[in-house]
Amino acid sequence: MTVSVPLWPAVLGRFGWQDLPFVRAWENPTISEIIGAFAGALVVVGAVVVAALLTRYGKWRYLWTEWLTSLDHKKIGIMYIVVAFVMLSRALVEAVLMRMQQAVAIENPGFLTPDHFGQLFSTHGSIMIFFMAMPFLTGMINYVLPLQIGARDMAFPWANSIALWLTIGAAGLMMASLVVGEFSTGGWSAYPPYTERAFSPGVGVDYWIWAVTLGSIGSTMAGINIACTVYKLRAPGMRFMRMQMFAWTSLCTSILMIFAMPPLTVATLLLALDRYLGFHFFTNDLGGN
């Protein structure tokens, strides 16, 4: 086996000035590039405004002690839901842009380049599945489930917090792709061989790999936590057949997460090995055997 790309440059050393949307919009001021630059600027300005408001009103300590480091299942559930709605706002804008492109691209190419449209399609699908639907449902379960079964908290509060922050980190990678680099054009399923290095040499697929990997690890931890909470922390007399429908839904969801997320994590890591170290799990360059 030969190593095609050194690991360090593959992960961190492939960015340049051309990966900034503002530079691309300055050098090639098309509508598509301007939209990308505006989206990146919106993320940067939003982060600066939030940081300025927290500093102005002295809420950093409160935010850190009462929310960011909290192990309370209600607060963790609320933070999950906030993350879901923040990501939903981006996905909705992308959905509108895609439909607008389809509406105007009848007799002309429209205002989005094919590459930009592919990125919108990929991010919209990835966000709605991995960073909107799943965090929203996990947040609802975190908030409601212990109250319904008479538990004081989730079974593993620390794991609950770690799972949340893995999800936040994954969502942050999705948002960072607006500011530095670009996102994958391989769809939310990222099927090889299109997402292999030969066909997608940019950093977009790398963003997808690490965002989905972190998110799937967090979802696996959340699923184990939910299942253990239902099995071990029910109040005395709360038998399975006495649980409400939402508690049963939470248990079934956790079982699906436990069995579905680890294979996804393994698959994304195998794709990363293909791209970074020249492995051939999803290619037939070595004969497919």
Q: Which of 182, 224, 211, 231 is nearest to 271 (CA)?
A: 211
Question: What is the reported pLDDT for 284?
Answer: 79
Burial class (CB in 10 A: 0-12, 13-18, 19+), 2: exposed
Residue 5: Cβ-neighbour burial (10 angstroms; 0-12, 13-18, 19+): middle
Burial 100-109 (b: 16+ CB within 10 A, else e): ebeeeeeeee
Cα–Cα distance, 264 to 279 (Å, whole number): 18
What pLDDT was estimated at residue 75? 97
CB 171 within 8 A of CB 126: no
This prediction has a pTM of 0.90
At a CB cut-off of 8 Å and minimum separation 6, what does 64 contact? none
- The architecture that CATH gives domain 7-277 is Up-down Bundle (1.20)
pLDDT at 1: 44
Return the half-sphere exposure (C-beta side, CA atoms, 13 A cut-off) of residue 268.
21
pLDDT attached to residue 2: 44
CA distance 21 to 220: 34
- pLDDT at position 48, please? 94
E strands present in the chain: none
Model pLDDT, residue 52: 96
DSSP state of 6: -
Are the beta carbons of 208 and 184 closer than 8 angstroms? yes
Digit-by-digit pLDDT tens for the chain (289 residues) are: 444 444 444 444 456 666 677 777 778 788 888 888 888 888 899 999 999 999 999 999 999 999 999 999 999 999 999 999 999 999 999 999 999 999 988 878 888 889 999 999 999 999 999 999 999 999 999 999 999 999 999 999 999 999 999 999 999 999 988 888 788 999 889 999 899 988 888 888 999 999 999 999 999 999 999 999 999 999 999 999 999 999 999 999 999 999 999 999 999 999 999 998 888 888 877 766 6
